[in-house]
Each structure stands twice: as structure tokens, then as C-alpha cells.
Amino acid sequence: MLRPIDSATRETKSLDGLWRFALDSSDLSAPWSAPLPGDLECPVPASYNDIFVQSPSLRNHVGKVWYQRTFRVPRGWAGQHVYLRVDAATHEGEVYIGDKLVVTHVGGYTPFEADLSEIVKPGEEVRVTIGVDNTLTNQTIPPGELKTDDAGHTKQKYWHDFFNYAGLARSVRLCSVPKTRVQDVTVKTDVEGKVGKVAYEVTTQGEHNKIQIDLLDTKGAVAASATTVSGTLSVPNANLWQPGAAYLYTLRARLTSSNSEVIDEYTLPVGIRSIRVKGIEFLINDKPFYFRGFGRHEDTPVKGKGHDDSWMVHDFELMKWTGANSFRTSHYPYAEEVLDYADRHGWVVVDETAAVGINLSIESGILGGVKRKTFSPDFAGDKMQEAHRQAIKELIARDKNHPSVVMWSITNEPASQEEGAREYFEPLVKLTKELDPTRPVTFANVLLAPVDKCRIADLFDVIGLNRYYGWYVGTGDLVTAARELEEELHKWAEKYKRPLIIFEYGADTVAGVHDVDATPWSEEFQSQFLETYHRAFDKVDAVVGEHVWNFADFATGPGFFRVDGNKKGVFTRDRRPKASAHTLRKRWHGKE
């Protein structure tokens, strides 16, 4: 799926702004057929929940909500293919133009489109209504369960540790492209000596006479060209895309008619780089790369998961200040703007699906709940696996061309020690590798599935570990934590002889709580916790990365071990540094 752009032949029109808004209810029939009742308005992009925080029935609503607005199709778009692009509807969207249902989509963090060419006329004013459902079940990614209590109240249960923000948290756009057009572009890059290789494949729609492919450097000079729909461009003395030093070429695909008129033009930023796993090393452009950075969330006050350029740039600047070079899109695909920025600024990204919470043993093991099997027809069965398959396909279709994305993470903390885990995950790893043979595949392993119990680690190129010794296990005891962590890391290294990345390590910390004896929840403890882990990482050669959990404090659902959300941030939710931010800065700048 191509990212919408403006070019000589393509135009986009933003539909962001205030939309009419209403909760679904039994007395609201066919809400798309008339202006929505009531006077609520909701901004797009934003999660609706905290916008309406004063109204618990809205904030904690389970089910569908409706967004509605009108727009005018630009007069100049006659004869074009016109479509609506919704960057995300969390978790399920249905779009009506006037009274007509034009598209439905399941999966809250990937885009979808509706072809409007035959439905709207240039110059016409149209009403668009989008139903967005936040329900999670055993057929969705991430999973959830609906529970109705004795009073008839339906509640959403889920197994991920972040608030189930919902709505239209990313942009909505109207787009026009020529009927004969570039439909998709895939690039795969490699480096051979000083020569950059750009394998490309363009799919087209409609009749054209010629295709012209040019790879332009940053000055606009042609570095390589071709006239076929697929092939490999060679760039002598290529400027490589490197971590912290991005260089982006532009791949321009032009379709022309027999009289050399340009019918369509699509441009795509291309970073030439190679990725390889060799033994225990993770190589970018054949140089060992060490991941320093964070697991993060799209999470800000008021907007929830709503994309916002100001917060985004601020977060990147703060991460840079700490000396980080990378992050994981824990626990779902982030807004495309984030990856575009990462491409331009040389950030290294581990791109994750929304498959978080495929684990019923955390609840029964740690929290003493009822014991249930994770991999069973009731929970992670065929239907969830199918949704997971779809999530992987959509992630790769959306993000395959980003040079910043160096690895796919297909799941976070599944119950990989349980029976059925291998049967569930093996086909998914295979699918990921088929769809993209160029990037390593990883996952984040949970402490309950240690080296002798995990049934799936060998399927992955890089093993990600989330560890909380000294926090969830042996709370406050960093001496034991150091020993257990080091022992465990050595075991993984010896058994699998491949790179290990610590995708999570961290301790909840309330900003402003200080202590002489570093006790849990204090800023001193968080700093010492991180330092303890760092000493262990430095003793194990196979460790090629450290991602602290989390970049910033974030909102969660209610829970007796969450005080106003998860406090493992190195920054507060409003992005003020805790002492640990300085600790990281000292270490990571020293590691340059």
C-alpha cells in the first residue's frame, strides 16, 4: 500500500480537524443517514477517550462510536481515481459515504482505503461517517474479552499494559491519483563494496506506454535509471543510509504515454543500506550495530494515541539527548510520520505488530488468577492466528520500504513456554520471512518462558528478552538481580549463539521520590537498577542492544499495581527527565 503523496499527478486533501461525534446506542439507527445527534465534536487525529475525560461513559465506552463530517471533492479531480485513506481506526472501522458503506477494516494500527471514484463527483459536497469499534476479542490482535457483569454492564478485558485508547488517532485524507497509475513500489537495498544495490518492483494499474525509473541524489542528480517495471539499480560510490547519518535518495517512477506525456509520477525516499545477522552480531552496512534506546508508546496527555508532530519531534529530540540510537514500536505499528522521521534522521527501528497479550499465564502465574490455556480454540486459536497473519501482512505492506526499519518483531511476551506455542508461531515466522526475506525477525520473550522452557526462540534470528529481576522478581534486591540476570544471559548466549537484545528492563519510579538507600519507586533506585543491568550486558558478548522500558510514563487501565499509569518512564508523561535519564545519557554518549 503506497503512502499518499502530492506529486505532479497526485493530490491529497486533509480531512483532519473537528468531526461530529456520537456514541453508538440502540436508539441510533443508521447514523450515517443524517447528521449525528447531539453537539459533541471530536478532533482527528486523537484518541477520543481523554478528550471526554469528564464523562466516564465516553472515556470508558466499550463498542462503537461515530465520527462524521462533510467535505467537498475538489473540482479539478474529474477523471481521477479518488479514494479515502484512513491511517488508523482503532480497532475496527467502517466508512459510509452518504448512505453507502464503502469499506470496513479490522486492525487498529494499520491504514485502509476506500475507492470513491464511482461514488463521488468533483465539486460535490459529501457526508462521510466513520464507525469505530474498540472491541477486542479472541479474534483480534491485540486480543481481549468482553465480560458482562450481573448488572448488565459490558466491560472490556485485555492483557496488555496500556490504556485501550480508541478512535481516529491518525490522519484521514482524501486522495486523487490518475486512473493509470503506479499501484505499489517495493525496494530492497544491499551494499556490495562501494556499490549500492536497489532492487525495485513497481506494479501498475491501467495502460501505459513506458516506465521511467530514476534514482535521484539529494541534489536532484540522477544516480541510476531504468526503463523496466522491476530490476536492480546499481549506484557506484553510493552514499549509504547509516544509523545517525541518514542519506536518502529519491526513487522516481514515471509512467508515460506514447507521446511521452507523464501519466503518473510517484516518488519514494530510499535509503541504501544492508542488514545482516552474522553469528552473534547484528550488522548494518557490515558494521556491528549496538541498539541503545527505548521501548515506547504513542501516548500523550489529552490526545492519547493521537499523532502529533510537536510531541513526536520533542520525543525524538529527548531520545537523541539521552544518546539513544534506536527504539521498538512497542506494542503496535506507530504512525507512518514516525517512521518517515526515523528514515530522515537515521533512527534504527524494530517494527512490532500489535500482537501483545497472547499470554494467559501472566495473569494466572503472577497474579494468581484462574489457570487457562493460552493456545486453545477459546483464546489463541485459528481465528486469532488468522488475525495475526493479517496484522503481519499489513505491517510489512505498509513499512517495507523504510530504511529505518531493520527488523520485524511479530509479538510481545507470548506464552511461549506453553503447549501449542510452536504450532501457533512457526507459520507466522515463516510468513514474515516469505514476505520480507531481507530483514531479521524477532520477538520479545517473557521471563516466564526462560531458556529451557521457551518453545519458539530458535525460530527467530534475534532473540529479544524482557527482564525485570529486582522489580517483578525479588523486588528491590539488585544484588540477586545482577547474578540472576547475568547467569540467564549467558545461558541464552550459549544455547542459541545468536544476537540477544534486551527489549525491556525497568522499574516504576515516581518522579520526585528520593531516598538515600535506593528503594523501589525512588529515582535513585531506577538509576541503580539500570546500572546493574548495564554491568551484566557488558559481560555478555551476544547482547547487541539495550532498550529501557519505557521512554516515558504512560496511561494504563486501572490496576492495583499501577498508580496513575505505568511509571517506568525515564521521562514523566509530560517529558520531564527523571534522574535515570541522566544516567543513560552518561552511558550512551560514552558508547558513541
Nearest CA to 132 out of 17, 18, 206, 23 is that of: 23
Question: Which lies closer to ligand GCB via its Cβ, residue 453 or residue 539?
Answer: 453
Give the whole-angstrom CA distance, residue 148 versus residue 462. Answer: 41
Q: Any contact of residue 412 with ligand GCB (CB under 6 A)?
A: yes
Residues 476-505 that bind ligand GCB (CB under 6 A): 504
What x-and-dash track marks residues 431-470 binding ligand GCB by CB under 6 A?
-----------------------------------x----
Q: Tell me the residue number closest to ligand GCB, measured at CB.
A: 161
Identity (one letter) of the amino acid at 374?
T
What x-and-dash track marks residues 501-540 binding ligand GCB by CB under 6 A?
---x------------------------------------
- Find out whether 137 and 379 touch, Cβ atoms under 8 Å: no
Beta-bridged to residue 327, according to DSSP, are 294, 349
Question: Which lies closer to ligand GCB via its Cβ, residue 361 or residue 566?
Answer: 566
Question: Which lies closer to ligand GCB via its Cβ, residue 305 or residue 568?
Answer: 568
Question: Which lies closer to ligand GCB via its Cβ, residue 326 or residue 445?
Answer: 445
| φ and ψ of 582, to 5 deg | -70, -35
Give the whole-angstrom CA distance, residue 549 versus residue 295. Answer: 5
* Pairing assessment for the beta strands 348-352 and 326-328 based on DSSP bridges: parallel
Give the whole-angstrom CA distance, residue 551 versus residue 571. Answer: 6
Least gap, CB of 92 to ligand GCB (angstroms)? 22
Least gap, CB of 480 to ligand GCB (angstroms)? 19
Least gap, CB of 138 to ligand GCB (angstroms)? 20
Least gap, CB of 147 to ligand GCB (angstroms)? 21
Give the whole-angstrom CA distance, residue 409 versus residue 273. Answer: 20
* Pairing assessment for the beta strands 291-295 and 326-328 based on DSSP bridges: parallel
Among positions 568, 569, 579, 581, the unique one binding ligand GCB when judged by CB under 6 A: 568
Residue 413 is among the residues annotated as catalytic for this protein = yes
Question: Which lies closer to ligand GCB via its Cβ, residue 549 or residue 588?
Answer: 549
Question: Which lies closer to ligand GCB via its Cβ, residue 264 or residue 504?
Answer: 504
| φ and ψ of 249, to 5 deg | -85, 170
| 142 preceded by a cis bond (ω within 30 of 0) | yes
- Find out whether 361 and 379 touch, Cβ atoms under 8 Å: no
Least gap, CB of 567 to ligand GCB (angstroms)? 9
Beta-bridged to residue 12, according to DSSP, are 175
What x-and-dash track marks residues 546-565 binding ligand GCB by CB under 6 A?
---x----------------
Least gap, CB of 46 to ligand GCB (angstroms)? 22
| φ and ψ of 331, to 5 deg | -120, 50
Candidates 113, 265, 418, 504; catalytic one: 504
Which residues 6+ apart lie within 8 Å of 572 measured at CB?
511, 552, 553, 578
Question: Which lies closer to ligand GCB via its Cβ, residue 162 or residue 282?
Answer: 162
- Find out whether 191 and 240 touch, Cβ atoms under 8 Å: yes
Give the whole-angstrom CA distance, residue 421 versus residue 423. Answer: 6
Helix (H) or strand (E) holding 92: strand 92-97
**Which single residue is written with the C-alpha cell 500482537?**
355
| φ and ψ of 24, to 5 deg | -70, 145
Nearest CA to 81 out of 264, 257, 262, 211 is that of: 264
Question: Which lies closer to ligand GCB via its Cβ, residue 413 or residue 436?
Answer: 413
Cβ atoms within 10 A of the Cβ of 412, count?
A: 29
Question: Which lies closer to ligand GCB via its Cβ, residue 32 or residue 549?
Answer: 549
Among positions 329, 359, 374, 566, the unique one binding ligand GCB when judged by CB under 6 A: 566
Cβ atoms within 10 A of the Cβ of 223, count?
A: 22
- Find out whether 319 and 588 touch, Cβ atoms under 8 Å: no
Q: Where are the alpha helices (DSSP H) in 260-381?
A: 309-322, 336-345, 361-366
Q: Specify the long-range contacts of residues 427-434, CB closer than 8 Å, at least 24 apart.
A: 427/385, 427/389, 428/385, 428/388, 428/389, 428/392, 429/456, 429/459, 429/460, 431/389, 431/392, 431/393, 432/392, 432/396, 432/408
Question: Which lies closer to ligand GCB via its Cβ, residue 20 or residue 331?
Answer: 331
Question: Which lies closer to ligand GCB via its Cβ, residue 133 or residue 504?
Answer: 504
Least gap, CB of 535 to ligand GCB (angstroms)? 21
Among positions 214, 413, 436, 553, the unique one binding ligand GCB when judged by CB under 6 A: 413
Residues 144-173 that bind ligand GCB (CB under 6 A): 161
Least gap, CB of 188 to ligand GCB (angstroms)? 31
- Find out whether 125 and 93 touch, Cβ atoms under 8 Å: no
Q: Any contact of residue 374 with ligand GCB (CB under 6 A)?
A: no
Residues 307-366 that bind ligand GCB (CB under 6 A): 331
Least gap, CB of 361 to ligand GCB (angstroms)? 13
Least gap, CB of 326 to ligand GCB (angstroms)? 17
Least gap, CB of 551 to ligand GCB (angstroms)? 12
Which residues 6+ apart lie within 8 Å of 579 measured at CB?
523, 524, 526, 527
Helix (H) or strand (E) holding 158: strand 154-158
Candidates 265, 394, 413, 418; catalytic one: 413
Which residues 6+ apart lie within 8 Å of 268 measured at CB?
185, 187, 250, 251, 253, 401
What x-and-dash track marks residues 97-136 binding ligand GCB by CB under 6 A?
----------------------------------------
Size of the site for ligand GCB (CB under 6 A): 9
Residues that bind ligand GCB (CB under 6 A): 161, 331, 412-413, 466, 504, 549, 566, 568
Residues forming the active site: 413, 504
